[in-house]
Amino acid sequence: MERPTEHLMDDHQVAARGVSCLAAIADGVERGAAFPAADVAVALRFLREWVVAVHMRKEDDLVGPAVAMRGDERAAELVGELFRLREEIGELLHSLVLFWEPLGELTKEETVGFTSTVSALVQRLKRRQLLEERELFPACNRFVGADDQLQWLNEFRELENQRGPRGDWAGQIDALAQRWLTRG
Ligand SMILES: [Fe+2]
């Protein structure tokens, strides 16, 4: 049977692709390309509605607390750091709301605001994912018994059913990646 950490690693593949798309979009905008409002809206909605509201909830509601409770001191510290990163990610996403439906071409100032906020956001998203893959998931497999994880996959599925399955987003992210990740 699939382990919960394997399921989360599969989530990470889709999440990382979406993050790379947003980073590529911001690079283009920084180099003077027209602001691709529709693609930005898809990337930001994906981050807010699936990465933060579904994927990170699987980690922060189930995996993190179990690891903090059963793991060593470093594990508890790590879980605290992951929570803080999610908060910062949420705040940065919130401050990008202005760019979901821009009224026209961005001013110079807005362009700088967009690219620097995206850069701060991407940096935190990447850091969180790296910490999870390097430390949280190994700690989960080491400290949390299989019995304690029995219900997790069901709960993961329930979250997806309530708030949006990975498969629905993967297609949209693939379409973005076709446009943004295949150049140069
Ligand atoms: Fe994650």
Provide the residue ranges of all domains of the chain, joining segments of one domain with +: 4-180
User: Quick one: pLDDT at residue 184?
Assistant: 47
Task: Using the mean position of ligand 1's atoms as its centre, give its distance from the Cα of residue 53 in Å.
Answer: 11
Cα-to-centroid distance, 103 and ligand 1 (Å): 33
**Long-range Cβ contacts of 50-56 (<8 Å, 24+ apart):** 50/163, 50/164, 50/166, 50/169, 51/15, 51/18, 51/125, 52/86, 52/89, 52/90, 52/93, 53/163, 53/164, 54/159, 54/160, 54/163, 54/164, 54/166, 55/8, 55/11, 55/15, 55/166, 56/86
Ligand 1 centroid from CA 129, angstroms: 5
- Between CA 49 and CA 160 the distance in angstroms is 11
Q: Give the CATH number of domain 4-180; options: 2.40.30, 1.10.760, 1.20.120, 1.10.3470.
A: 1.20.120
Determine the pLDDT at residue 183: 60
Q: What is the pLDDT of residue 174?
A: 96
pTM of the model: 0.95
Cα distance between the two ends of the chain: 40
**From the CA of 8, how far away is ligand 1's center (Å)?**
6
DSSP string for 42-87: HHHHIIIIIIIIIIHHIIIIIIHHHHHHHS-HHHHHHHHHHHHHHH
Coil, helix or strand at residue 144:
coil
Structure tokens at 143: 């400290």
What is the chain's pLDDT, residue by residue, as a tens digit (184 residues)?
A: 789 999 999 999 999 999 999 999 999 999 999 999 999 999 999 999 999 999 999 999 999 999 999 999 999 999 999 999 999 999 999 999 878 777 778 899 999 999 999 999 999 999 999 999 999 999 999 999 999 999 999 999 999 999 889 999 999 999 999 999 986 4
Q: Give me the residues near ligand 1 (ion), CB cutoff below 5 Å.
A: 132
